[in-house]
Structures are given as C-alpha cells and as structure tokens.
Amino acid sequence: MSEVIRIGLLGFGTVGTGVIHVIQNHKQKISHQLGCEIEISKILTKNPEVENDRADKPVTAVLTNDAYEIVRDPDIQVIVEVMGGVDFTKEVIAEALRNKKSVVTANKDLLAVHGPELFQLANTNGCDIYYEASVGGAIPIIRSIKEGLASDQITRIMGIVNGTTNYILTKMAQDGASYESVLKEAQELGYAEANPSSDVGGLDAARKMAILASLGFSMEVTLDDVEVEGITHITAEDLQFSMDLGYEMKLIGLADRVDGKIEVNVAPTLLPVEHPLANVNGVNNAVYVYSDAIGETMYYGPGAGSLPTGAAVVADLMNVIRNIRLNIAGKQLISDHLPKQMKTKAETNRKYFIRLQVEDVPGAMKEVVSVFADYHVSMEKILQMPLKGTNKVDFVVVTHHATLQSIEDTLEALKNTKIVSKIESAYRIVGEKK
C-alpha cells in the first residue's frame, strides 16, 4: 500500500485532538477501508513549540501557526477545519478550495453564514466539502438525510441539537433548580462556556437548523430565516406546570414543510412525556425526521466531545478520500435549489401553553376566555392555582391548534386587559396530533 493522502489539520483543540486520536488508534482499519495510507502532514496551532504532547502519541506532523502555509502546501490534498470562527476561517477555506483541496469541517457557524458561497466555490474547483460533525456531533444525521432518506420527501425535522441547553433544562426539571444555579453548574462541569450566550440564546441551535433545513428541503435556508428564542427566561414554575399537564420542556429546533412552504425555528417547546425526544436528557442530542415513505425516524447520541466529534470528522475525511481516489471529488453538488417560500404567521399553525397572572375577582375567567374566543383560539385545558399572599392566580391554558397570528393577537389583547396582570410565559407544544 504505497499511496499516501496527506492531510492539513486546522485546529489542535478538543476536536482536533479527537481527530488525531481516532486516526492514530484506528489507523489499520482506516487504511484497509481506503486502500491507502493517510498522513496528517501539518497542524495549525497557536503554540507550535509546546503542544505536541496533546495527542495519544507525539505527532510527526509539522506544527505551525500560519493557516495559509497549510492550505497552500502543494503536497496536502485535504484540509480538515476544526478551529472554529467565521470570517477569517471563511477566507482560509476559500483559499484551500481555490487550491483544489477538498475540505472537511465541523464548523456550523461558518456554514450557516457562508455555506452556499463555499459550496459553489468547491463545485467550481472540483472539490468536496463534507460537514457531518457540524450538526449533532457523533450523530450521522447529515449523512442520513443525504443518503438514507435521499429518495424520500422530508416534511419535518425536529430535534434537540444543543447539549448545553438540554443539560440545563434536564437539571431544572429533575431538581427543581433555578436557571441561574444550573447554568453555573454547567459552566463548572465544562458543559457551558464562560460566555454561554450562543447556546442559551438559541443561536447555536438555529445555525444547525439552517443547515438541516437547507439539506432536508433542498432550499437555501440561511440563519436569517430561522426564528430564534432561547431558554434564559424559563422558570422552575413553568417546568412544574408543564409536568403537571404531562409535558417535558426542551429547546427544540423545528423545520416544517407544508405544501412547499416552510418554517424554521428554535424555541423552548413542550413535548408530551411519551414522545421519544422528551426522554433525551443531559448533554445528548437527538433528531426526529418525518418523511412521506418511511414515516418517523430518530437519530440519537452524544452531541459533542473530543472522540465522538473526532470520529464523525474522520468518517467524512474517509468519504472525501474515496472520492479523490475515484476521481469524483466535486461532482456531487446539486446547485439548483427549490424556490424558498416561508410560511406567513397566518399559514403557521401551532398549539400553545400560556401562563397568565390574573386578578382573583369574580368574572375573571369569563373575561380571559372571551379574549381567546375573540381571536378564534379555543382552549383544550385550563389550570388555575392561587398565588399565595396575593389576590392573584396562575391561570394556565393549553390551546388547540391555531394560527400563529391568532395566538400573537390573543397575547397582545390579554396584555391590554385590566384583569391580566402579567403574561408569565407562552410556549409552543409539538408532538401531539392535530
């Protein structure tokens, strides 16, 4: 086995180290499956002089802090990008593609912002871009959509695609703890960054849903198309009421298609306790896919981590190398997309959990009910609990399905009544039959 494919690795952090571990520990199997050897020739790192001991075994690759030295090296055929970032990374990857080098990346931020441009550049230069690890870590969701479900018509993709928020909501529900205390614990355990805003604000999940929606619907969906709501306002009371009504709270990414029109959003969502996603806890991820022919399928596993993510990156690397050896690199991109049509609020149907703080006076319920009726939102369940030490009650409503426009109009009208002191929360409910 004389042929050697040389790799340039951009990034020597958690994922980069995982990539090296997988290649070092599974070298014989990888070589056998590919029919050639792979060699990491150069690694981008901030401190080339001191970081050679981060892998299982010392690496023989050249360590450098110059990304362009790697992407311009004529002996390197494939670039593996695990350094993160957007603007600088985009320029480096573009340079690699212009130099006819295929790319494997785990960078969902980059793809959510610049994916279409980079895919087109890859196509122009006869290169591949593979990106399985950008969504769901070790879960092969991208490969499943591109290959396993290729012949089917996907109508809905929904999932838990951020481990940090899933850990926080799991702990809040199980322990009755506050958001602030669980976030601090998650940071101490390394599940949340010092600045967790991208995770808890829903942006990380939104970037991943833009990628999944683009792929699943064959439409050019960007981050700007994704409606985003995070978990920072969720309270222990919200979770308790949810559980009392038979629901679990999760941060759910949802991409839905009806009659060619789509919605893509990320928001705290109530799931019936019997729904498979309701039982995905801790830092795990899961994606649930609805399609016409197959029906419902679910993909579950660790959403992050050095070795799980590293394994997903190496699997992509192996596919890229196969394409190079078969001389089909850059020949798989389908550049034509279906026209993108976003649902209007009047075309979007949702079921909601709404919690109000209402004055505890005669006729209060009648007035609240009449507001819902005025905007054609019917009620499925009502729960009313006195607030100790006040003359107010917690008034919880589970609606039937209604248009998003009707729901928003109802909430706005409730704000303007004298009987409603405060709208505590409003969460969509997904996973029940209409």
Catalytic residues: 208
Dihedral, CA of residue 87, residue 13, residue 71 and residue 206, to nearest 10: -40
Alpha-carbon distance 112 to 221, whole Å?
A: 8
Per-residue HEC secondary structure of the chain comes to CCCEEEEEEECCCHHHHHHHHHHHHCHHHHHHHHCCEEEEEEEECCCCCCCHHHCCCCCCCEEECCHHHHHCCCCCCEEEECCCCCHHHHHHHHHHHHCCCEEEECCHHHHHHHHHHHHHHHHHCCCCEECHHHCCCCCCHHHHHHHHCCCCCEEEEEEECCHHHHHHHHHHHHHCCCHHHHHHHHHHHCCCCCCCHHHHCCHHHHHHHHHHHHHHHCCCCCHHHCEECCCCCCCHHHHHHHHHCCEEEEEEEEEEEECCEEEEEEEEEEEECCCHHHHCCCCEEEEEEEECCCEEEEEEEECCCHHHHHHHHHHHHHHHHHHHHCCCCCCCCCCCCCCCCECCCCCCEEEEEEEEEEECCCCHHHHHHHHHHHCCCCEEEEEEEECCCCCEEEEEEEECCEEHHHHHHHHHHHHCCCCEEEEEEEEEECCCCC
Contacts of 71 (CB under 8 A, 6+ apart): 8, 10, 79, 92, 93, 95, 96, 99, 101
